[in-house]
Structure 1
Amino acid sequence: MSRLIKFFKMTLLFLIAVTVVLVVLIFETKPLVVANASKQVDDADSVNILLRQIRQITQRRFVPQTIYMSNPQMNSLVGFMQRAVPEFSGEVLTDKEKLTTKFTYKVPVDWFSLYLNFSAELITAPGVQVRNIQLGDLPIYGQWGVSAMTFLVNWWTNSDLGDMALNQVSEVKTSENAVEIRLIPIHDFLVSLNEIKNGLSGSDNEELKQKVTFYLAYLDSLSFSSLPTGQPLADYLKPLFQKAQSQTVNSSAVVENEAALLALAIYAGHHRIANFIGNVQPFEGKVVMPYYRPLISGRSDLTQHFVISAAIKILSQQGISAAIGEFKELMDRAEGGSGFSFADLAADLAGIKLAVMAIDPVHAETLQASLANISSEEQFFPAITHLPEGLSKNEFSRQYGDVEGEKYKQVVALINQRIDDLALYQGL
């Protein structure tokens, strides 16, 4: 017995020693990357071209295709991640032989600065070949890293999705300012991906799915939902939250508010929001939606921004929700786009605020009661007067610099103040 105890003690000491060594090797006191996210996202308009490529690839799935990603496009997406998660920063660089990625994550500890640094090189070669992976001071053999990532994807999806995705790439080719990823025909991969998605999609919360289905059916039953003219969103919010209030008797305000807002986003925002929750459509083979999308300030686009941002907040972190809205507006500055709109951004931020308060256990019931008695949009949506819209990239840069510029921050602060001053939030 004493020998067994001694063995366990030695094993425990060995594991502790290995853990200490790994921590010392992996975590560092200086960041590998210090990037200016506001400068990176300034090229967000270039991402529109990348999105068009991706749409084209899905449409031409039976033939080989190539994705071209430029340095500005890749770094703009990295900048978006930093705007969403301030502890993260990164950069992507390319030359004729390789694509180099560098990322830093600041570990949230109070008493000293600790960083998790990562770097790797994707080289010009057939298929996907990675080298020089570095996690802190710990070197990792390139293909081991690829195999580990593939294994994790396969394990998480309970499929061979990781292997399939890897096999879609026939060649990677880098240049001074871009990377080309050449793909084989992806039809079979998309079919398999759809089957896996159907098995994984949505929340594991069956109660939430049932409640969202219930509220979707209720929204579809409202008499004015089939009118050929747009109705104010307030006309939907009032009966929706009256219904939520009646359901709270046998539930909780947080649960009912969450389900009601998600249903509203699916119904009045976009039906594909349901993909994040599961099969919640109340009628088989039919997507429920109003004949005409509800209006805020006489506009259906503001309704979409408002309700979808509320749903994203519920389904994610607040920082991510705000970054998505901001990045979308920066993308709109591209030629042919609608231009940067502070009114749209106001709708995003107002939707986030509504969701934050609606699912806060301290305020959920009071907010629910207020929404059940709503009479006009001025109670829950800020004025958009004097908020510039339709700004091209040049106009935006000339007037506001970038998203870290003082003038930009002043307008965002004004929007947030208008939201905080809304009657819905007074006294909360």
Structure 2
Amino acid sequence: MIKASKWLVFGLGTTILVMLMVAGLTLFLVVEDKPWVQEDLAGQLEHADEVQPLLQQLTGLLKRSRYQQFVQLSRPQLQSLAGLAQRAAPKLQGQIGLSNELGWMVWSYHLPGNPFGEYLNVSAELLPSEGVKLGTLKIGGISLPGERAQAALLWLLDWKLGETLASDFVQRIQQVHLSEDRMLVRVAPFDDLVAKLKALPKSNLSEADELRRQRVQYYLAELQQMPMPKSDISLGILLGHVFDKARQRTQSGAVASVENEAAIMALAIFAGSHRFSHFIGDLSGESGKIQTISTHTTLAQRRDLSLHFLYSAAIKLLSEQGISIAIGEFKELMDRAKKGSGFSFVDLAADMTGIRFAELATHPATAENFQQMMAGLGNEALFFPSVDGLPEGFDKQAFKQRYQQVDSQAYKAELEEIQKRIDQLALYQG
């Protein structure tokens, strides 16, 4: 028995050692000392205003899923999307290109300090073909044939979904045509796949997620019971109401940071967009649907600023701060198009304030004091800075004349002014 135990321990030890050696060898082959790409981020974001037609195409793709369709992506659109990814993740560098022979993308990620190397480099190729055909996939020093990489990726997605939906959808892509300036994709009808996707059972919430859902539902119910005027109402009044409820629950033993998070998410659903509820769980209650605000909320007497604030705060809670800022900035760059409202530093101020608000409201060190300051108060000046004098309404030409590009000194000066105004508010100094 003792001898058998020794062999068992020896076998386990040898297996672990081999696994560590394989992992180390893999990291040695994958991680490298130099990046494969260093891209001009500002140049990529220059064409952000051209992404709006792409978003409209993708929206229409689902609406017309019963019919054969064509999706067209231009080189500037692809490069702008790469720029958005890099804006959201500053350690990421990426490049996307097109030619008649192939489409390609290269990404380099600057890793935290480690003994293997500084960068994880990845490149992938898309070939023109009937259907979808990947070229070589490279991860550092490892090269994988496109056919095997594609099969592995589809298997992983199908396994995650519990259905062959990913594989089935790829089969509906009938043709990929490439040129120097655009990619054209022909897609067969896929309405049956959309129906299957909607019919997938919802994942059961973990205990922690269920408790979060219950907290959000509590604050949503409190908001739904508030008497609302027929005219617009300041967002500050609603924030004061939910933070007063959060303070009461904290005084009864709840955790301030998690109560504040639930209060903000409930308000984003109630006065922002009910679609945020998809990230929380079923909040429909007995009525079968979520009751949202019957009027509009405002900040600085503007409806759009209230939405910018709420959306950015909610995205901050659902993601990382860099992603929230990047989405807000990218939206403003898109608005420089002829039919857009123009680039607005006023909107960016609302985005940046919403992020800062959510960050401090949910930080354990500041959450309780945040409640005390916000509870029951409707004064916007407590949490929202003055936007007087901040420039807005720039079309693409006017933006370029005044700021040249994103991250120019003039552009950074405007962001610094916004940050200064936010920092001056007492709420954000604790």
TM-score band (shorter)? over 0.9
- Determine if the alignment matches structure 1 residue 214 to structure 2 residue 222: no
1:296-315 to 2 correspondences below 5 Å: 296-315=299-318
Structure 1 residues 220 and 101, CA gap change in structure 2 (3 angstroms): same
Q: Which amino acid aligns with 2:382?
A: Q
Structure 1 residues 351 and 12, CA gap change in structure 2 (3 angstroms): closer
Task: Tell me what 1:245 maps to.
Answer: 247
SS at match of 2:392: coil
- Distance in 2 between residues matched to 1:288 and 1:201, nearest whole Å: 24
- Distance in 2 between residues matched to 1:125 and 1:305, nearest whole Å: 42
- Distance in 2 between residues matched to 1:242 and 1:199, nearest whole Å: 33
Task: Tell me what 2:72 maps to.
Answer: 68
Choose the corresponding residue for 1:228, options 223, 227, 230. 230
SS at match of 1:199: coil
Give the share of equivalent positions with the same residue, in percent: 38
Q: CA deviation at 1:343?
A: 0.7
Choose the corresponding residue for 2:19, options 15, 18, 40. 15
SS at match of 1:21: helix
Contact kept? 1:216, 1:282, Cα under 8 Å:
no
SS at match of 2:43: helix
* CA offsets 1:225-263 (integer angstroms, 9 cap, x no match): xx2200111111112111111112231111110000000
Question: Unmatched 5+ residue regions in structure 1?
Answer: none
TM-score, structure 1 length as denominator?
A: 0.94
With 401-410 and 112-121 compared, the bigger mean Cα shift is at 112-121
- Distance in 2 between residues matched to 1:120 and 1:417, nearest whole Å: 42
TM-score, structure 2 length as denominator?
A: 0.94
Task: Tell me what 1:118 maps to.
Answer: 122
* CA offsets 1:63-115 (integer angstroms, 9 cap, x no match): 11011111111111111110110111111111112101111111111789511
Task: Tell me what 1:88 maps to.
Answer: 92
Q: CA deviation at 1:423?
A: 2.6
Q: Which amino acid aligns with 1:316?
A: S
- Distance in 1 between residues matched to 2:398 and 2:380, nearest whole Å: 31
- Distance in 2 between residues matched to 1:146 and 1:201, nearest whole Å: 30
Contact kept? 1:44, 1:327, Cα under 8 Å:
yes
With 4-13 and 83-92 compared, the bigger mean Cα shift is at 4-13
1:406-425 to 2 correspondences below 5 Å: 406-425=409-428
Contact kept? 2:283, 2:290, Cα under 8 Å:
no
- Distance in 2 between residues matched to 1:176 and 1:201, nearest whole Å: 46
- Distance in 2 between residues matched to 1:17 and 1:56, nearest whole Å: 50
SS at match of 2:124: strand
Structure 1 residues 105 and 202, CA gap change in structure 2 (3 angstroms): farther
Task: Tell me what 1:288 maps to.
Answer: 291
SS at match of 2:155: helix
Contact kept? 2:268, 2:310, Cα under 8 Å:
yes
1:352-363 to 2 correspondences below 5 Å: 352-363=355-366
* CA offsets 1:168-192 (integer angstroms, 9 cap, x no match): 3111111111111211112112112
- Determine if the alignment matches structure 1 residue 193 to structure 2 residue 177: no
Task: Tell me what 1:46 maps to.
Answer: 50
- Distance in 1 between residues matched to 2:205 and 2:80, nearest whole Å: 29
- Determine if the alignment matches structure 1 residue 347 to structure 2 residue 358: no
Task: Tell me what 2:178 maps to.
Answer: 174
Contact kept? 1:85, 1:319, Cα under 8 Å:
yes
Task: Tell me what 1:34 maps to.
Answer: 38
- Determine if the alignment matches structure 1 residue 322 to structure 2 residue 325: yes
Question: Unmatched 5+ residue regions in structure 2?
Answer: none
- Distance in 2 between residues matched to 1:269 and 1:253, nearest whole Å: 23
- Determine if the alignment matches structure 1 residue 394 to structure 2 residue 397: yes
Choose the corresponding residue for 1:271, options 251, 269, 274. 274
SS at match of 2:233: coil
Contact kept? 1:103, 1:119, Cα under 8 Å:
yes
Contact kept? 1:265, 1:273, Cα under 8 Å:
yes
Q: CA deviation at 1:201?
A: 9.4
* CA offsets 1:262-311 (integer angstroms, 9 cap, x no match): 00001111111111112123443333122211111111111100011111
SS at match of 1:66: strand
Contact kept? 2:31, 2:116, Cα under 8 Å:
no
* CA offsets 1:111-136 (integer angstroms, 9 cap, x no match): 89511111111000111111111111
Structure 1 residues 126 and 368, CA gap change in structure 2 (3 angstroms): same
RMSD: 1.9
Contact kept? 1:309, 1:348, Cα under 8 Å:
yes
How many residue pairs are counted as aligned between the two chains? 424
Structure 1 residue runs of 4 or more that deviate by more than 4 Å after TM superposition:
1-13, 110-113, 200-204
Q: Which amino acid aligns with 2:272?
A: G
- Distance in 1 between residues matched to 2:126 and 2:289, nearest whole Å: 45
SS at match of 2:363: coil
